[in-house]
Amino acid sequence: MVYQVYPRSFLDSNGDGIGDLPGIIKKLDYLQWLGIDALWLNPICASPDADNGYDISDYYAIHEDFGTMEDFDRLAAGLHERGIRLILDLVVNHTSDEHPWFSASRSSPEHPMRDFYIWLPGNTDGKDLLPPNNWESFFEGSAWELDPCSREFYLHLFSRKQPDLNWENPKLRSEVYRMMNWWLDKGVDGFRMDVINMISKVPGYPDGTPGASSGILGSEHFINGPLVIEYLREMRQSLHTRKDLLTIGETSDVDADAALTYVNSHDGPLSMLFQIDHMEIDQNEEGYWSCVPWKLADMKRILASWQTGMHGRGWNTLFLNNHDQPRMVSRFGNDREYRKQSAKLLAMMLYTLEGTPFIYQGEEIGMTNAYFDSIEDYRDVWAKNFYARSAAEGTNEQEIMRHIKYRGRDNARTPMQWDQGPCGGFTSGKPWIRVNPNFREINVSQAMDDPDSILHFYRTLIRMRKTHAVLVFGDFPLHAGDHEQLFAYTRTLNDQRADVFLLFSQTPLDIRSLADQKQIPYASGELLLANYDDAEEHPDMLRPYEARVYRSISGSYLTAGNQEK
């Protein structure tokens, strides 16, 4: 399993309020104790931070807020000594507009590096110069920005400070591969590839059709574009060979079939994918900032289609939150009276499905959304732009904040809560973003001392998964797919069987009668793990957010009253 660190918010070692590499080094023993196999770091390269490091200005330098290249080398060595692999974030759909490549490219249409980025003349309506097409950017209005000198527009799918690289240019591509090899030679074990299925754009840059894709206007012309697989194959072939190189593509807008072009076990160019279908179950056609109630039946349908679609053919990731998503216990569980139970339930789900589980820092102690009331407390460019745009459109403050409090990415970017000390032990200075006020109750030190904590439960789950191959490789029959409170499934591998029961509700549920009706199997076999101590004494009823996994071998299972299933 992989642990994701958002360096800016993990641990600050020098009191400047910003997490850093020496801070991560201090916590390596903690990560090893937890049992992780690999560490993924969000971007650590030099960046003016228009998008917290996803706008890189020098691929060969460590961000000065995070430390030095020596710190990086110490971190890599410390991880490797502990048998933990190191995965970097590869941000190559775009750079910062402060990257020297962009300065050169912008300097003149004749510059040899002009073509490292995507420049087009605009359209004119006789009066004004208009963008070349109607594509929208994720973070702000049109995806095109006019350069006043050359009177041409450059493409930016994210903020205007993140110009898109032109992957059609072979020189640019070889620069990217050179840079990747440089990091591989330094001992990096793999890459998480940022928005990697956006690197190939449809030639001619045609207008987007409203409603043509689930994403923003034009995205059907830049997501899963015509040459993306070819580029990724070329990338794979250009990298210094490493048998165990781990590559994880961040790919929105793929279904299981499309995913298999990226990760099929035969010739897929990547090891695994982050697909985000299940992260969109609380959105409507208004897109990212909408927040509509989600339904368990949708979650089950989506996860089941990925489980069966990929089984035996390609490998997937398992996650319910990261630095771009709200905290999972706040979104899919209950972060008030059932925080502990529901965080464990969600974890149990992740660790009993096929794929590689990812823990986002703080998830293992059940950190919750920040829910800051004032826009002043938010830092994310996306939230700030959404606020400004909605305010300009006349939406009232409270309504705008409702969306940001539910969905905003800063919910998950508040500092890691280590102890009850000032700022939760994150910094001795002033943190770059406020600490979640609940740090006195929710922190690592408290969780270490509490044998019943979410943290200890994660540690147990990680070990359990390592000892039971059926949980990793088994197939996946789903039961009672339409049930709105219960998620129940079976994993089977040869004669091994695991039955999982997860109650996504505060209202207890009689599972014996559902089994009598043949909707689900009986809860029987060896109880491997549960999130209630006395689960064995209450086999027929699931209590609020109760989660259990039973193991059996087929012979013994058949005698347990499940002959018909």
**Interface residues with Ca ion (CB under 5 A)?**
12, 14, 16, 18, 20
* Pick 432 or 545: Cβ nearer Ca ion: 432
Look up 194 and say whether it is catalytic: yes
* Pick 330 or 427: Cβ nearer Ca ion: 427
> How many Å apart are CA 87 and CA 64, to the nearest integer?
20
Catalytic residue among 140, 145, 250, 335: 250
* Pick 386 or 426: Cβ nearer Ca ion: 426
Of 85-114, which residues contact ligand GLC (CB under 6 A)?
91
| The entry of Ca ion, ligand GLC, none that residue 519 binds, CB within 5 to 8 Å by partner kind | none
Residue 258 CB partners (closer than 8 Å, separation 6+) = 224
Residue 382 CB partners (closer than 8 Å, separation 6+) = 138, 139, 288, 408, 409
SS3 494: coil
78-89 in b/e form (b: 16+ CB < 10 A) is bbeeeebbbbbb
Residue nearest to Ca ion (CB): 20
Handedness of CA 118, 379, 319, 522 (dihedral sign): negative
Which one-letter DSSP state was computed for residue 166?
-
Site string for ligand GLC, 421-440 (x = CB under 6 A): --------------------
* Pick 8 or 221: Cβ nearer Ca ion: 8
Of 232-271, which residues contact ligand GLC (CB under 6 A)?
250
| The entry of ligand GLC, Ca ion, none that residue 14 binds, CB within 5 to 8 Å by partner kind | Ca ion
Orientation of helix 228-238 relative to helix 170-185, angle to 10°:
40
Q: Which residue in 27, 18, 138 sits closest to 361, CA to CA?
A: 27
Of 280-339, which residues contact ligand GLC (CB under 6 A)?
323-324
Which one-letter DSSP state was computed for residue 131?
-
> How many Å apart are CA 45 and CA 181, to the nearest integer?
15
* Pick 8 or 340: Cβ nearer Ca ion: 8
> How many Å apart are CA 329 and CA 326, to the nearest integer?
9
Catalytic residue among 51, 140, 152, 194: 194
For residue 72, the surrounding DSSP H or E stretch is helix 69-81
> How many Å apart are CA 51 and CA 161, to the nearest integer?
9
Q: Are 343 and 333 a contacting pair, CB within 8 Å?
A: yes
| Shortest distance, position 322 Cβ to Ca ion, whole Å | 22
| The entry of Ca ion, ligand GLC, none that residue 88 binds, CB within 5 to 8 Å by partner kind | none
> How many Å apart are CA 111 and CA 107, to the nearest integer?
7
Handedness of CA 161, 167, 171, 176 (dihedral sign): positive
Q: Is 56 one of the binding residues for ligand GLC (CB under 6 A)?
A: no
Look up 145 and say whether it is catalytic: no
> How many Å apart are CA 172 and CA 164, to the nearest integer?
12
Residue nearest to ligand GLC (CB): 54
Please pick, from the candidates 3, 10, 54, 371, the single residue that binds ligand GLC as defined by CB under 6 A: 54
* Pick 94 or 300: Cβ nearer ligand GLC: 94
> How many Å apart are CA 428 and CA 424, to the nearest integer?
10
| Shortest distance, position 247 Cβ to ligand GLC, whole Å | 16
| Shortest distance, position 322 Cβ to ligand GLC, whole Å | 7
| Shortest distance, position 191 Cβ to ligand GLC, whole Å | 13
> How many Å apart are CA 23 and CA 13, to the nearest integer?
5
For residue 31, the surrounding DSSP H or E stretch is helix 28-34
**What is the DSSP annotation of 369-397?**
----SSGGG---HHHHHHHHHHHHTT--H
Q: Are 547 and 348 a contacting pair, CB within 8 Å?
A: yes
Q: Is 164 one of the binding residues for ligand GLC (CB under 6 A)?
A: no
| Shortest distance, position 14 Cβ to Ca ion, whole Å | 5
Q: Binding residues for ligand GLC, how many (CB under 6 A)?
A: 9
| The entry of Ca ion, ligand GLC, none that residue 158 binds, CB within 5 to 8 Å by partner kind | ligand GLC
DSSP H helical ranges for 393-529: 397-407, 444-449, 454-467, 469-473, 511-516
Q: Is 410 one of the binding residues for ligand GLC (CB under 6 A)?
A: no
* Pick 433 or 530: Cβ nearer ligand GLC: 433
| Shortest distance, position 225 Cβ to ligand GLC, whole Å | 16
| The entry of ligand GLC, Ca ion, none that residue 195 binds, CB within 5 to 8 Å by partner kind | ligand GLC
Residue 232, CB-side half-sphere exposure with 13 Å CA sphere: 31
| Shortest distance, position 528 Cβ to ligand GLC, whole Å | 34
Q: Name 154's bridge partners.
A: 119, 145
| Shortest distance, position 416 Cβ to Ca ion, whole Å | 13
- The 10 Å Cβ neighbour count of residue 46 is 21
* Pick 51 or 546: Cβ nearer ligand GLC: 51
> How many Å apart are CA 374 and CA 391, to the nearest integer?
14
* Pick 51 or 410: Cβ nearer ligand GLC: 51
Q: Is 158 one of the binding residues for ligand GLC (CB under 6 A)?
A: yes
| The entry of ligand GLC, Ca ion, none that residue 16 binds, CB within 5 to 8 Å by partner kind | Ca ion
| Shortest distance, position 133 Cβ to ligand GLC, whole Å | 20
The single residue listed with the structure tokens 């289609």 is 305
* Pick 235 or 442: Cβ nearer ligand GLC: 235
| First-last CA distance in the chain | 32
Q: Is 51 one of the binding residues for ligand GLC (CB under 6 A)?
A: yes
For the chain, the maximum distance between any two Cα atoms, rounded to a whole number of angstroms, is 81
Computed on alpha carbons and rounded to an integer, the radius of gyration of the chain in Å comes to 24
| Shortest distance, position 37 Cβ to ligand GLC, whole Å | 21
Please pick, from the candidates 44, 195, 433, 480, the single residue that binds ligand GLC as defined by CB under 6 A: 195
Residues at the interface with ligand GLC (CB under 6 A): 51, 54, 91, 158, 194-195, 250, 323-324
Catalytic residues: 194, 250
